[in-house]
A and B are shown apart, each in its own frame.
Chain A
Amino acid sequence: MSGKGSTTPSTYSPSPTGYKKKRPDSNWARPDGRTLHQCRPAFLRTGAVNSASGSAYAEFGNTKVIVSVFGPRESKKAMMYSDSGRLNCNVNYTTFATPTRSQAPESKDLSSMLHKALEGAIILKSFPKTTVDVFALVLESGGSDLPVIISCASLALADAGIMLYDMVASVSVSCNGTSLLIDPVSEEESYQDGSLIITCMPSRNEVTQMTVTGEWSTPKIHEAMQLCLDACSKLGKIMRSCLKEAASGLQD
């Protein structure tokens, strides 16, 4: 997407580069004034895109994501026959999502992470021979993008009426020296030592995906997991009430 042809002159953003700020010392507040173990307020809505079978919009602080679900529909011609359905995921960033234009993270990587996080929760046997497409567009990247994409995609799948064992909720924790920050914003992510993302099905208490990167000690991992699981079950409740609201709105 960045290769725009030779006609456009090369440009640069006036915002200061080498933006990696030093981590503040021990006594410091989070940029948005939250406590360490407080998530950003979540805004969720289903039915954002009319032309899709199901869709959802999620806004966690400055992280804004739209997910559309299409299908179940005919698989690509080249695909082999399959008894169980297929899931196809794709994540894209808008060019203005990040502070510097077109510097979005690798979307292939995110797409496969999304696929793996959702796969375990979908009853693929319920739509043999066909494909369900899950497409995500990040309108604005404000930190913890992947967990927001995953939660939003799960809501969109439910909105599309795809059979699920349970909805999945996803939350990340970032390790900063001795403290754990839940649901980090971009600035916090830029100076973290390690991060942990858990995607789970809250009512079945099962984890579909867990990713740990960076430097961690075992007790810290335990603590972070517990934090994430608690936050996931809370997020699960919000997602559930969002679906209920949409359903009761339809009846009126």
Chain B
Amino acid sequence: MGTSTNGKVNDFSSDMEVDAFRRLFPLRFHERHLAESIRPDGRPLGKARDTTLVLGAVASANGSALAKIGCTTMLAAIKMEVMAPTVEAPDEGCIAIEFHMPPICSPLIRPGRPAEIAPVISKQLSDTILRQEIICHYLELSLVSGKAAWMAYLDIYCLDADGALFDAALLSAVAAFSHLQVPVVSLNDDGRIVLISEDNIAAMKEKEPVNKEKRKLKLDSVPFSLTCVLHKNHILADPTSEEESIMETFLTVVLDSSSFQLVSLNKPGGPGLAHTSAIQECVELAKLRVKEVQKIMNEATSDMEQD
């Protein structure tokens, strides 16, 4: 284990003792690091872990993305289905977002006993993505007014849980939307929407496709987030699960990628209280992080286009 990096923990003679100290006195172990403005994995306090993004990870979905922040891994995929729009909003589609934590992702989750945090993150994601209507103009999901509209099922699976779950989930969700291709469909005689594929292209020839070509949704501005842990006077960006379990006060900042305006700010209680200055500092850290994530996102998109 790379616990004895940087040689800052010289008071312990061997690696083994450091490991034992880490397990027995986790809080003191971390505070000892914080005093030196460094974290056990060698990061400075305000720095997020290495982030990678791969678009199109699942072929059976219309849009998908795999996001990795440090060891935290999220797989998001969107499947487009057809629904009858409501009478009140005949031109609007719908987006259903669900966050899953299958038992593979963490030793704390057992089958049949779903994680308590999963529905919380599900709700947070829905609030961020849907309420603001930042990502999708619902009108773009309309097919035949009053008869048919798209229902986008966005499912996000946590494959490896190592802290900052919401950040990784939001990143993968946004990336899946940017990869989403709305398929070409047409209305058949029974009034059902069917996919135009090579098999039934002859039968569909005389039918006008409802939407002309495969297209992407318009993404003007998207939300990105950064979670910080507040502990005494320290602010730790992008905590690992170990840090989350020891220091229990979190603050999540969601910013809009184009204007850097605040989308949401969430401090779900916790034993620590936050000063205004601490909140401002978190927002500053989030701004830096959003720029970083945006760059990663652009690289992933341009990689995809080259292929």
Contact = CB atoms under 8 A, between A and B. Distances in A.
Contacts of B160: 48-51
B82 A11 contact: yes
Contact of B82 (A12, A55, A66, A99): A12
Given A51-B241, A62-B59, A133-B103, A90 B111 contact: yes
Contact of A96 (B64, B71, B104, B151): B64
B58 A135 contact: no
A97 B61 CA distance: 8
A68 interface: yes
A178 interface: no
Given A51-B107, A135-B102, A9 B60 contact: no
Q: Binding site of A, secondary structure by majority: helix, strand, loop or mixed?
A: loop
Interface stretch (B194-202, B223-231, B268-276, B290-298): B194-202
Interface in B50-72: 57-61, 64, 71
B162 A51 contact: yes
Interface stretch (A13-21, A205-213, A226-234): A13-21
A95 B155 contact: yes
A141 interface: yes
B155 A96 contact: yes
Contact of B61 (A4, A55, A96, A133): A96
B79 A96 contact: yes
B161 A51 contact: yes
B236 interface: no
B257 to A, nearest CB: 26
A55 B103 CA distance: 12
Interface string A126-159: 0000000101110111000000000000000000
A8 interface: yes
A143 to B, nearest CB: 12
A37 B96 CA distance: 43
Interface in A14-34: 14-16
Contacts of B185: 14
Given A14-B194, A94-B157, A135-B111, A9 B102 contact: no
A92 interface: yes
B80 interface: yes
Given A12-B82, A50-B71, A70 B58 contact: no
A12 B106 CA distance: 33
B169 interface: no
Interface in B73-123: 73, 75, 77-84, 86, 94, 96, 98, 100, 102-107, 110-111
Given A12-B81, A94-B77, A99 B60 contact: yes
Nearest to A89: B111
A12 B195 CA distance: 12
A10 B153 CA distance: 12
Interface of B: 57-61, 64, 71, 73, 75, 77-84, 86, 94, 96, 98, 100, 102-107, 110-111, 151, 153, 155, 157, 159-162, 183, 185, 192-195, 197, 199-200, 241
Given A62-B60, A94-B75, 5 more contacts: A13-B79, A51-B162, A96-B61, A133-B110, A140-B58
Q: Which 8 A-B pairs have the closest CB atoms?
A: A68-B104, A50-B71, A11-B81, A96-B77, A11-B83, A135-B103, A90-B111, A96-B61
